[in-house]
Amino acid sequence: MALLHEAPIQPLDVILFRGVDPVSRAICFFEAKRLGRGDFSHIGLAITREALDLPFLEPGKVYVWESTLSAPAGFFARFTDKVPDRETEGVRFGVQIRDLELVVPAYASSGGKVAWSRFLGPRPPIHVLRSHLHALHEEYGHVPYTHNLFALFSVVYPALRPARDAFSRAEDRLAHFVGHVLRRAREDAPVDHPEHHMFCSEWVGTVFARLGLAKPEFDAHLAAPVTPLLRPEGFAEPVYLEVPDAGGSQS
């Protein structure tokens, strides 16, 4: 266990979550059965203003860049830790950036745990990292969470991959029909291509792949929350995080 403000978290370290809701428990169970490790159900990427220069981020703070559901209030808040994304401060279901100092205690308040795993590989120079991360934010910074649940569970159960691919093809055809055939007849924004829907570990894997920090054979679409931990040469053993309570004592 480590206090968040004392942990030397750097951009490209990963932030891991162990949830207690039924979906999180199911993810942990399937990971343990198929991958040999099932202690985390969600994953994000540590980020700072110094590495990703966006106006809504504060210098010197650590954020988690993740694909998740967030809502500070209202109906959807009952399914979240109530910490909003920093850009909109509203309801969001997809890739977003949240304040880690708020996420850790909020997640823990419902019985969950948050951990940090240090990236052990070579880190690009900060100016190179800034360029790549900005490009990734431009391309993926607003994509929604995947609608295809077969994509998530096919990571650990290959038998589900034909169903995943069939669903993606159907979604692609629908996107083409709505986005092109009916383009002149509609007023709403185009339906996103299925490739631009991402679950949490797919997003983190995509970042490492785009930065050239993953092995050539790595497939981000098949990444699970615990996938980085299966590479002890690439990621340190996770350390659970905590923050002092309002009275200044440790939680």
Taking 50 as the threshold, does the pLDDT of residue 185 lie above it? no
pLDDT-wise least confident of 135-144, 146-155, 210-219: 146-155
Q: Whole-model pTM?
A: 0.80
| Lowest model confidence (mean pLDDT) among 69-83, 119-133, 194-208, 212-226 | 194-208
Average model confidence (pLDDT) across the chain: 83
CB proximity list for 190: less than 8 A, separation 6 or greater: 175, 178, 179, 183
User: How would you label 37-63 residue by residue, b for 16+ Cβ within 10 Å and e otherwise?
Assistant: ebebbbbbbbbbbebbeeeebeeeebb
Is the pLDDT at 29 greater than 70, yes or no?
yes
**pLDDT for residue 167 is more than 50:** no
What is the predicted pLDDT for the residue at 44? 98
Say what percent of the chain tops pLDDT 90.
63
What whole-number distance in Å separates Cα of residue 88 and Cα of residue 167?
30
* The CA-based dihedral angle spanning residues 149, 150, 155, 161, taken in that order and rounded to the nearest 10 degrees: -160
Residue range 66-90: average pLDDT? 92
In terms of pLDDT, which residue wins out, 128 or 172?
128
CA distance 153 to 159: 10
Evaluate if residue 139 carries a pLDDT over 60.
yes
Residue 61 scores a pLDDT above 60: yes
Tokens of 6: 């004392």
Least confident segment among 45-49, 68-72, 112-116, 154-158: 154-158
- Mean pLDDT is lowest, of 102-111, 182-191, 221-230, for 182-191
Q: How far apart are CA 179 and CA 205, in angstroms?
A: 28
Going by pLDDT thresholds of 50, 70 and 90, the confidence category of residue 198 is: confident
